[in-house]
């Protein structure tokens, strides 16, 4: 009868532990993103997160050091997802569809919301620096689509308009998630493209920004 060598058994057990650790870490991240996005940083406890993830609360310290470390990990993950979703070289013509696609993924019962995480302050300097830099980066992407660059003669006005457009997007997310306001809350991508086109044309088209 064939038997496994001690080395094979030990290697298999180590691989299983790694898979279990990765799975537990992801459970905590998913639960934390839901909690932080909906209840805010101060309104969420590590016990809330651990209970929702179905794991021992001590594992938060093991994998993330602290509540602040877990929040920062959630934020970094959200930033990464949004960076992949919004092309840094997106054109003005594609911008309404890009924004509508992102907004359509938000709302009650939707996936843990990246946008809301960017509005949540933890009081942790490193995490808040990531938040500020990310919001600034996305405003800059909108402004670049409208022709902005650091030496543009109308740079401040274009950046302001881009920030207003971004703020509108954040406001839509807040209303969709927190109020159940209809028809906004249940509007899909196709419903949102038209209004986003009006927003982009009104704020960012060069003929309107002069």
What integer pLDDT is reported at residue 19 of this predicted model? 59
SS3 65: coil
DSSP class per residue in 117-167? HTT---S-HHHHHHHHHHHHHHHHHHHHHTT--TT-TTHHHHHHHHHHHHH
The per-residue pLDDT for range 95-150, each reduced to its tens digit, is: 999 889 888 876 554 454 677 888 888 888 888 888 888 888 888 888 998 888 88
Interatomic CA distance for residues 24 and 135, integer angstroms: 30
Contacts of 190 (CB under 8 A, 6+ apart): 100
Residue percentage of the chain with pLDDT more than 90? 38
How confident is the model at residue 103, as a pLDDT?
87
Question: Scanning the structure block, which residue is given the tokens 């980066």?
Answer: 137
Assign 210 a pLDDT band (cuts: 50, 70, 90): very low
The pLDDT, as a whole number, for residue 12 is 56
Confidence of residue 6 (pLDDT cuts 50, 70, 90): low
Q: What percent of the chain has pLDDT over 70?
A: 83
Contacts for 84-91 with beta carbons within 8 Å, 24 or more apart?
86/138, 86/141, 88/141, 88/144, 89/144, 90/141, 90/145, 91/145
CA distance 84 to 124: 25
pLDDT at 191 over 70: yes
68-81 confidence digits (pLDDT tens): 999 989 988 887 77
pLDDT above 50: residue 209: no
Per-residue model confidence (pLDDT) at position 5:
54
How far apart are alpha carbons 204 and 162 in whole angstroms? Answer: 7
pLDDT(61) > 80: yes
What pTM was computed for the model? 0.73
């Amino acid at each position: 009868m064939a038997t496994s060598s001690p080395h094979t058994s030990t290697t298999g057990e180590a691989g299983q532990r790694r898979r279990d650790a990765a799975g537990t870490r992801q459970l905590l991240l998913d639960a934390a993103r839901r909690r932080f996005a909906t209840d805010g940083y101060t309104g969420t406890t590590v016990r809330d997160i651990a209970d929702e993830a179905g794991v021992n609360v001590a594992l938060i310290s093991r994998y993330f050091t602290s509540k602040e470390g877990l929040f920062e990990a959630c934020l970094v993950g959200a930033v990464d997802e949004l960076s992949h979703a919004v092309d840094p070289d997106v054109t003005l013509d594609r911008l309404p569809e890009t924004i509508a696609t992102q907004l359509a993924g938000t709302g009650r019962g939707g996936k843990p919301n990246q946008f809301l995480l960017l509005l949540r302050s933890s009081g942790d300097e490193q995490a808040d620096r990531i938040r500020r830099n990310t919001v600034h980066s996305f405003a800059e992407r909108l402004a670049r689509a409208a022709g902005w660059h650091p030496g543009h003669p109308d740079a401040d006005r274009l950046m302001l308009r881009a920030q207003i457009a971004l703020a509108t997007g954040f406001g839509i997310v807040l209303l969709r998630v927190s109020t159940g306001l209809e028809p906004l809350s249940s509007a899909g991508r196709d419903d949102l493209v038209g209004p986003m086109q009006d927003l982009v044309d009104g704020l960012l088209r060069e003929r309107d920004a002069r």
